[in-house]
Amino acid sequence: MSKHPFHDFGVVDEQGDAFEFYYGTGQAAECRLEAVIQTERGPKRTEMAVVPAALWRKVSVRAVRELSTGMGEEERTRKAPTIKTGSNRLGPLIGRELAVLLWAVMEEGGETRVEGILHGWRELAREERWWLFAKGTAPGQHAGAGWRRALFHGLSEPGDSRSVEANVAEKKSPQNTQSQQNTQPNRKQSRVVTRKKQTRETSEVSSSSQSKARPKSTRKRAEKAPARKQTRTAVRKKKAL
């Protein structure tokens, strides 16, 4: 793709890592996404996704709008970013997000569920897309299996039944982490109080059970003991007189 002039989607470092998206034209044209990693021996290219251009045209306007809306200030230019026919260069973060969408529509059945996939992808936060990209590029991952197939099912299902592993899956914010740390002492105190209560109740039940389990003869002897003592005392006094 380097033989074509590039159109930059937002701010892209010419000397750094990037993604290249080639938007073909014509009825049988394709769109290809490649990751370009800078190494000491020169750029290393890795094909990420290939989809029919006709399929890309179905989602391109909404996908580009979603990508541009989430861009940070350092990624933006004065003009709204666009993807044109020919070669487009994307920043590494934008490229990861786009790869997640293309992986899902590439899967078997993706063309028939493209609207659901696009909707599910747009519901994800940028950080979730980056996390899913990392899972989809792990060793052994490829189209039709593993995380990429799971990604298709996860995005194409209705929103109320979708569970991202992320939680596909679960990312913890600093606020949530701090909240969990603040509640841990209270939980610990509650457990201690509960254990003490259970111990006390167990002790009371045990004492009651022992009292009930004592033989009747033993209880009778215990009850008669004071009376016998009084009787012996009376006899002694009578003999003394």
User: Based on the domain organization, do 142 and 178 belong to the same domain?
Assistant: no
Specify whether 156 is located in the same domain as 179: no
Same domain, 36 and 94: yes
Using CA atoms, how far apart are residues 223 and 49, in angstroms rounded to an integer? 92
pLDDT of residue 14: 87
Q: What is the pLDDT of residue 230?
A: 59
**Lateral strand order in the sheet of 6-9:** 6-9, 86-90, 18-23, 30-39, 42-52
What gap in Å lies between CA 201 and CA 198, rounded to an integer?
5
- 169 found inside a domain: no
Boundaries of domain holding 138: 6-161
Listed as ranges, residues in the chain with pLDDT below 50 are 1-2, 162-218, 220, 235
Q: Specify the pLDDT at position 99.
A: 98
pLDDT 10s digits, 136-172: 999 999 999 999 999 999 999 876 554 444 444 444 4
Boundary of a domain, candidates 99, 131, 161 = 161
Say if residue 180 is in the same domain as residue 62.
Answer: no
Specify if 168 maps to a domain: no
How many domains does the structure of the chain reveal? 2
Give the model confidence (pLDDT) of 113-138 as tens digits.
999 999 999 999 999 999 999 999 99
pLDDT computed for residue 157 by the predictor: 87
